[in-house]
Amino acid sequence: MSDHLDTSFDAVRRRLAAAFSDSGPIGTTRPLEIQSHGVVDAPAVKPAEVIEGSKQVARVVDDASEPRFAAFLDGSQLTLNARWVGVIPVVHGTVSAGVRVRRERRLTTWGAPIVRHALYAPMSLLDAASQQRLRDARIDVVDTLEKREPDSEHPFALQELAYKAVLSDRERAESELAVRWVEKENADLFVDGGISGNAKVAKAANVIGVIKSHQTLYADADGLGVITALKNGERSSVFKVEAGRRTPVVSWYLRIADRSGRDPFWGLVRVEVAVGATGAALTQRADDVSRWIFAERLPLALPDARWDKMAYGIRDAEEYLRAIQ
């Protein structure tokens, strides 16, 4: 693909409109992320092995916050339906990832951010002419059925497949940048989300993942009670997270905002770090990292609605990506 070729949503949609001269329905400018068709993981509770002590307990973290993170990594995606070919959705996806490094308390961009555009379509369901027209649109085309059969040929199901493919590309972009960081830098990197998706990142001692969403809760019934009852400044015991092909990491829950009068997950984040320390060293590591995260509570990430869980550096990275994608 030419570097200079405009692959933005509007440009690609115009090219598709020209290629599909049958006056077929064009797409929508409403992102799939905010449509009901956007998929999320199903809520789940998964028991996890506690490796700090024998059971989940609330642990008070020393309040002496200590700014330590040198940079913040976040990714972003925007998924829009570019065109309908009959009832087959052709989705335009934009994924981006960037690292914002902190120098003298101000954030600037580290290295080159990643911004990618692609079309996502179930190619095998399209006729040959339509496939050719997509390939001629001068943008990468991702076949959402390349390695699988569709669960359903319902257009929304096909749209979900595209959405998941964009999500997957976004994670890949984030991992790519995180790997670059690990290879070049020794300072600590704050990653928005989990780190287990890439082995090199998951094993790096200077990468800390902070997860804001709690679709999956890692606790048994007793542990769940402890976690949701954590007070501001408390953390859970450390547990191990192992999931399928993902690299094992150690994790704990941390309350970084007073939840008085709020829901149980207000100000609750889950932290992921590489497996390594054990015993007292593990406790020390969990306490240290927790203090670093506490230090990111100021300034508040307002006006973002997730300000109770979000570090300002991540909000800054999101704003940055929104500006460049």
Taken in order 238, 255, 233, 197, the sign of the CA dihedral is positive
Q: How far is the CB of 11 from another protein (least distance, A)?
A: 18
Q: What gap in Å lies between CA 166 and CA 161, rounded to an integer?
A: 9
Which residue among 138, 284, 299, 324 contacts another protein (CB under 8 A)?
A: 299
Which residue among 1, 281, 302, 324 contacts another protein (CB under 8 A)?
A: 302
Nearest Cα neighbor of 254 from 242, 272, 278 is: 272
Nearest Cα neighbor of 100 from 111, 90, 91 is: 111
Which residue among 75, 98, 122, 313 contacts another protein (CB under 8 A)?
A: 313
Q: Which stretch binds another protein (CB under 8 A): 160-168, 210-218, 263-271, 310-318?
A: 310-318
Interface with another protein, residue 324, by CB under 8 A: no
- The site that binds another protein (CB under 8 A) totals a number of residues, namely 19
Interface with another protein, residue 70, by CB under 8 A: no
Which residue among 160, 234, 296, 308 contacts another protein (CB under 8 A)?
A: 296
What count of residues does the chain have?
A: 325
Considering only residues 236 to 295 of the shown chain, the ones binding another protein according to CB under 8 A are: 295
Residue (115 or 300) nearer to another protein, CB? 300
- Is residue 312 within 8 A of residue 299, CB to CB? The reply is yes
- Is residue 9 within 8 A of residue 82, CB to CB? The reply is yes
How many CA atoms lie within 13 Å of 215's alpha carbon, on the beta-carbon side? 7
Residue (110 or 218) nearer to another protein, CB? 110
- Is residue 90 within 8 A of residue 80, CB to CB? The reply is no
Interface with another protein, residue 166, by CB under 8 A: no
Residue (65 or 228) nearer to another protein, CB? 65
Residue (133 or 297) nearer to another protein, CB? 297
Which residue among 4, 41, 303, 305 contacts another protein (CB under 8 A)?
A: 303
User: Using CB atoms within 10 A of its CB, is residue 95 exposed (0-12), middle (13-18) or buried (19+)?
Assistant: buried
Q: How far is the CB of 177 from another protein (least distance, A)?
A: 19
- Buried b vs exposed e over 143-176: b needs ≥16 C-beta within 10 Å? bbeeeeeeeeeeeeebbbbbbebbbebbbbbbbe
**How many other C-beta atoms can be found within 10 angstroms of the C-beta atom of residue 88?**
18
Which residue among 199, 224, 275, 300 contacts another protein (CB under 8 A)?
A: 300
Residue (257 or 275) nearer to another protein, CB? 257
Q: How far is the CB of 175 from another protein (least distance, A)?
A: 24
- Is residue 61 within 8 A of residue 233, CB to CB? The reply is yes
Chain residues binding another protein by CB under 8 A are: 65, 67, 69, 102, 105-107, 295-296, 298-300, 302-303, 312-313, 315-316, 319
